Amino acid sequence: MGSKIVVNNYGSFDVTMAYGKGSTCYDVNGKKYIDFLAGIAVNCLGHDFKPLVDAVSKQAEKQIHVCNYFTSDTGVEFAEKLLKATDFEGVYFGNSGGEANEAAFKLARKYGFLNGGEKRRVIYTLESSFHGRTLATLTATGQEKFHPPYFAPYVQGFKTIKPNDWEAIKTSFDDTTAALMIECVQGEGGVNLIDPKWAQAAAQAARKAGAIVMADEVQTGFGRTGSLLASDELGFEPEVVSFAKGVAGGLPMGGILFRGKANGVFKAGDHQSTFAGNPLACAAGLVVLNELQKPGFLEGVKEKGEYIRSQIKSWKNKNVGEVRGKGLMIGADIVEGLSAVEVEKKLLENGLLTSTAGKNTLRLVPPLNISQSEIDEGLEILRKTLETF
């Protein structure tokens, strides 16, 4: 129904959601769905998390928007706690993942200009990466299917390097390289893991050539992989991290963290956005950060992910190939001859929300605080549905 009047750029399913409880959603007909999707890795604390609802309501009563001629008390508090928790020196708030990466690219271009002039303009991203839907982030996205001819011309100065390719590290970076951006676990690309040793070596080579290193943590950031930031686990110590999706538990927020050589590059006037740092989103971000920092929370994310992966593997279902992931970012390859989208549709019918990624992968990104009983209920739907093909 809704998809007929709201622009259907998403090829949306004909389901109109009404409300959610915990990690369970209900549509307008009262049908129940276990949520293994979390609004594409956004609703990290589920759908009616009381402290989140309270904090946003309280902030709405206090002040909904403060323009960036000023700072807001809530925004300053969030920035302070965020920097302390992540060991970064500065933060820029935006409103989405695409915007976050745009900010990162602008910072990289300016850094390149200041440290090599007109020549140092190139930003490297990884093959099969995904960085967003704006023109620059589409260009940066390392998948040809995202570059149809009708959006051309694309933005200049982007190149790709093949992840986990050791030879490519030797030949890619030089005095024209401004930055290397690594998507820590490729989400849209199919839940592909990056070898930490390769990420560290690539970062080292890029830095040796005079570039800065950035992490796209729009999907991996804020607990998704079982760490506050996935780049901490990979160990390549980026100067810039972009984030969005889960950061504010469902409110639109994105941004970049920066430190070291990337700190001090942006000056007043270089980059702005009207809604950036919205206090409602910052109030929500404070709740998310507080939850993630509770003892055992992130370990719980790792354990739940491990459990889901091992359960799926234990079924030895003929329709499932490799199962992989980190924390609660899980990919299960669907074998050739069966389409992951068909599986996704059948799961929706049977009351489980999932998504697809890459060539033919079922992607599971449930809320980070999903309960054991909801996990088991969801897995049961998945197991039974897979048996029907």
Going from the C-alpha of 243 to that of each of 57, 68, 280, 296, the distances in angstroms are 24, 20, 17, 23
- When binding is defined by CB under 6 A, the residue of 98, 210, 238, 285 that contacts ligand PLP is 98
Q: Which of 75, 132, 163, 226 binds ligand PLP (CB under 6 A)?
A: 132
Measured distance CA(54)–CA(19) in Å, rounded: 17
Identity of the residue, 216 or 333, whose beta carbon is nearer to ligand PLP in the bound complex? 216
- Asked if 360 is part of the footprint of ligand PLP (rule: CB under 6 A), the reply reads no
Q: Which region among 126-134, 224-232, 263-271, 352-360 touches ligand PLP (by CB under 6 A)? A: 126-134
- Residue of closest CB approach to ligand PLP: 97
Q: Is 219 in the site for ligand PLP (CB under 6 A)?
A: yes
Measured over the CA atoms of residue 312, residue 313, residue 315 and residue 320, the dihedral's sign is: positive
Question: What single-letter amino acid sits at 26?
Answer: Y
Residue type at 189? G
Give whichever of 183 and 374 is closer to ligand PLP, judged by the CB atom: 183
Determine, following the binding rule CB under 6 A, whether residue 182 of this chain makes contact with ligand PLP. Answer: no
Does residue 130 touch ligand PLP according to CB under 6 A?
yes
Residue 72 or 101 having the CB closest to ligand PLP: 101
The reply on whether position 187 binds ligand PLP by CB under 6 A is yes
Judged by beta carbon, residue 88 or residue 130, the one nearer ligand PLP is: 130
Alpha helix stretches (DSSP H) within the chain: 38-41, 50-62, 73-86, 97-114, 135-140, 166-172, 196-208, 230-234, 279-292, 297-315, 340-349, 372-387
Between 210 and 246, CB nearer to ligand PLP: 246
- Is residue 243 a contact point for ligand PLP (CB under 6 A)? no
Cβ nearer to ligand PLP, comparing 105 with 266: 105
Q: Fill in the amino acid letter for 353.
A: L
Using CB under 6 A, which of the segments 1-9, 13-21, 69-77, 216-224 binds ligand PLP? 216-224
Q: Is 131 one of the binding residues for ligand PLP (CB under 6 A)?
A: yes
Q: Which is nearer to ligand PLP, 128 or 219 (CB)?
A: 219
Does residue 146 belong to the site contacting ligand PLP (CB under 6 A)?
no
Check if the beta carbon of residue 215 is closer than 8 Å to that of residue 240: yes
- How far from the centroid of its chain's Cα atoms is residue 189's Cα? 12
Rounded least distance, CB 275 to ligand PLP, Å: 13
Q: What whole-number distance in Å separates Cα of residue 278 and Cα of residue 95?
A: 8
Asked if 216 interacts with ligand PLP (CB under 6 A), we say yes
- 128 versus 369: smaller Cβ distance to ligand PLP: 128
Q: Distance between CA 199 and CA 197 in Å, rounded?
A: 5
Which is nearer to ligand PLP, 207 or 245 (by Cβ)?
Answer: 245
In sequence order, the 6+-apart residues with CB closer than 8 A to the CB of 324 are 191, 193, 309, 330, 331
Residues with Cβ < 8 Å from 295, sequence gap 6 or more? none
Of 113-121, 213-221, 309-317, 334-342, the segment contacting ligand PLP by CB under 6 A is 213-221
Task: Please name every residue paired with 94 in a beta bridge, in sequence order, or none if there are none.
Answer: 254
Quickly tell me which residue has 């099969």 as its tokens: 128
CA–CA–CA angle 79, 277, 59 (5° rounding): 90
Tokens of 339: 């389409």
CB of 167 to ligand PLP, least distance (A): 25
Number of chain positions touching ligand PLP (CB under 6 A): 15
Write out the DSSP string of 314-330. Answer: HHT-TTEEEEEEETTEE
333 binds ligand PLP (CB under 6 A): no
Using the contact rule CB under 6 A, the part of the chain among 90-98, 197-205, 263-271, 324-332 near ligand PLP is 90-98
Nearest-approach distance from CB 97 to ligand PLP, in angstroms: 2
Question: What is the binding site for ligand PLP (CB under 6 A)?
Answer: 96-98, 101, 130-132, 183, 187-188, 216, 218-219, 244-245
